[in-house]
Structure 1
Amino acid sequence: MSSTTFTALACPLDGEPLRQGDGAWRCAAGHGFDIARQGYVNLLPVQHKRSRDPGDSKAMVAARRRFLEAGHYRPIAEAVARAVLAQVPAGASLSCLDAGCGEGYYLRELAQAAGDERTLALLGVDISKWAVLAAAKQQQAATWVVGTNAHLPVQDHSLDVVLCLFGFPVYPEFARVLKPGGVLLRVDAGPDHLRELREIIYPSLKPPRADDDTPPPGFAPLARETLRDTIELDGAEPIADLLAMTPHLHRAKAEGRERAAALASLTVTLDVRLTQWVYQPVG
């Protein structure tokens, strides 16, 4: 991958542009944020935290890393990379944010798929310091930031693509940071996603919610794709890791978790929706 550093960060305290130098990012007002030795920067001020240690725990991040690095979700990563790179002709450049990047798997897969014909400026933001730490240790070609989607530390209209993958979209913020004509790509679970696991851990499954294709304010529909596949999980560890990296770990009761822990193998359905919207500001 041909890469360039993403530099359009904004101060989380006053919104002013940040400039990098002497091991820190600083704004004109003098607010400074040190770059950790692993290469990431924490731009999550205490007033934007809902707890002392928000986001995924260290154990959840480790489980997600093991599961994803084993390639179980590679079909999803490949579909995301195809959708993003379709926006970039050979020889062009693109700035891309993964909003809720976790331990950086999807940006790493995107960078690998890009090859040397495109220049990418990659930014990963997550509220979990453990996730960002893991991402920074594995991929030096991106800018990694501890931050929140509710107050993205990114300058206005500086991004070509925003990814929100199984995450929590904040559409006004996504619209603010996207360039006119920029693309928002969401990946969400379909009605059959991980059905076999859910049937084991819950007494019954809730009816699936109806799809809502209505674009958020300021966005227009661009593309929609459904991806279905199956994965084979052999052994207790990948099953435990899958459960640990999903909200189902805390939603399921103890007896449901125990049934999952007793499994030696499991075939699971992947069912995801990839939705793309283009940002079209009014006026």
Structure 2
Amino acid sequence: MPITPFQALACPLDGDPLTCDSRVWRCPVGHSFDIARQGYTHLLPVQNKRSRNPGDSKDMVAARRTFLNAGFYQPIADAVNRLILADAPGEGVLSCLDAGCGEGYYLRQLANAAGERQTLELLGVDISKWAVLAAAKQDKRPAWAVGTNARLPVLSGSVDRVLCLFGFPVYSEFARVLKPGGQLLQVDAGPRHLQELREIIYPALKPEKNEGTVTPGGFTALTITMERFPLVLTSQAQIANLLAMTPHLYRASAEGIERASALDSLTVTVDVRITCYRQSDSANSL
């Protein structure tokens, strides 16, 4: 399937269009951003950082890469791909942004799932330079950029699909970059997600909130689907990698982490909610 270069990048300093000259992106007033030799572009100005190295650490990215590349979350990727490509035109270009792409697993899976006649224009953005570096090293087909969801380095009204998978949604920005009628596909943990692991690392689990999904401003809800399946982990390394790629690594006590580290095998429930929204026609005019 053809993957075309993503062209709708915006200058993170002034929002103007960026054009690529050799291995440098430039805006009309002269701001320039080099394409690193690994194939990604750093579009996160220092004034938009909250720390020296925001986002996932190098070790977290390595754990996620190992875990995901083993295929443990392939059913999630398959479900996401079906929804993204369901209404895609048989011909023409489908432009997709993975906002919070991590080390790029889901965007790579999307590229592999597209049909021969479907042309994809793919961009992955993450605030972690380690994540984007890992993504660029593994797959040169999508474009990769260090950036923030709070101010995406993407032109307004330029993408057909936005993916936010276990990430931090900024709905106003998602609505801004989507074309009129474009779709947001969001994946979140369901009530039973990794319940067996959580029971081990926490002294008690908080009761689940029975709150309905609130449709964010600028969007109309289309579908909500649940993916639930058992996951059998057969080594301490697999358990450690799963824990390292979740926020539970920092929320659990030292005693809880120690209990998980002592395990040689564990079966956990994967339970995720996949919500598909359509951008409201009036969103870009707000």
In which range does the TM-score fall when normalised by the shorter chain?
Answer: over 0.9
Q: Which amino acid aligns with 1:173?
A: E
Question: Which runs of 5 or more structure 2 residues have no equivalent in the other structure?
Answer: none
- Counterpart in 2 of 1:112? 112
- Counterpart in 2 of 1:16? 16
How far apart are residue 115 of structure 1 and its match?
2.9
In structure 2, what is the Cα distance between the partners aligned to 1:164 and 1:190? 15
- Counterpart in 2 of 1:184? 184
What TM-score does the superposition give when structure 1 sets the normalisation length?
0.98
Q: Does 1:5 align with 2:37?
A: no
- Counterpart in 2 of 1:175? 175
Q: In the alignment, is the contact (CA less than 8 A) between 1:2 and 1:115 conserved in 2?
A: no
In structure 1, what is the Cα distance between the partners aligned to 2:114 and 2:211? 31
What TM-score does the superposition give when structure 2 sets the normalisation length?
0.97
Q: How do residues 146-161 of structure 1 correspond to structure 2 at under 5 angstroms?
A: 146-161=146-161
How far apart are residue 3 of structure 1 and its match?
1.0
Q: Give runs of ≥4 in structure 1 deviating > 4 Å.
A: none
How far apart are residue 212 of structure 1 and its match?
3.0
Q: How do residues 76-95 of structure 1 correspond to structure 2 at under 5 angstroms?
A: 76-95=76-95
Over the aligned positions, Cα root-mean-square deviation in angstroms equals: 0.9
Q: How do residues 92-241 of structure 1 correspond to structure 2 at under 5 angstroms?
A: 92-241=92-241
Q: In the alignment, is the contact (CA less than 8 A) between 1:197 and 1:268 conserved in 2?
A: yes
How far apart are residue 195 of structure 1 and its match?
0.2
| SS, match of residue 246 in structure 2 | coil
Q: Which moved more, 1:83-92 or 1:153-162?
A: 83-92
How far apart are residue 137 of structure 1 and its match?
0.6
How far apart are residue 281 of structure 1 and its match?
2.9
In structure 1, what is the Cα distance between the partners aligned to 2:238 and 2:175? 37
- Counterpart in 2 of 1:279? 279
In structure 1, what is the Cα distance between the partners aligned to 2:139 and 2:115? 15
Q: Which amino acid aligns with 1:11?
A: C
How far apart are residue 116 of structure 1 and its match?
1.4
In structure 2, what is the Cα distance between the partners aligned to 1:61 and 1:54? 13
In structure 1, what is the Cα distance between the partners aligned to 2:181 and 2:115? 24
Give the percent of matched residue pairs that are identical in Structure 1 and Structure 2. 65
How far apart are residue 280 of structure 1 and its match?
1.1
How far apart are residue 91 of structure 1 and its match?
2.0
Q: What does the per-residue CA deviation read over 1:124-176, in whole Å, with 9 as the maximum and x for residues that have no partner?
A: 00000000000001111101000000000000000100000000000000010
How far apart are residue 218 of structure 1 and its match?
1.4
Q: What does the per-residue CA deviation read over 1:178-223, in whole Å, with 9 as the maximum and x for residues that have no partner?
A: 0010000000000000000000000000111233322111111111
Q: What does the per-residue CA deviation read over 1:100-138, in whole Å, with 9 as the maximum and x for residues that have no partner?
A: 000000000011010312000000000000000000011
Q: In the alignment, is the contact (CA less than 8 A) between 1:16 and 1:27 conserved in 2?
A: yes
| SS, match of residue 60 in structure 2 | helix
Q: What does the per-residue CA deviation read over 1:41-94, in whole Å, with 9 as the maximum and x for residues that have no partner?
A: 000000100000000000000000000000000000100011101121322320
Q: What does the per-residue CA deviation read over 1:214-266, in whole Å, with 9 as the maximum and x for residues that have no partner?
A: 21111111111011101100011010000000000000000000000000000
Q: Does 1:33 align with 2:33?
A: yes
In structure 2, what is the Cα distance between the partners aligned to 1:102 and 1:26? 25
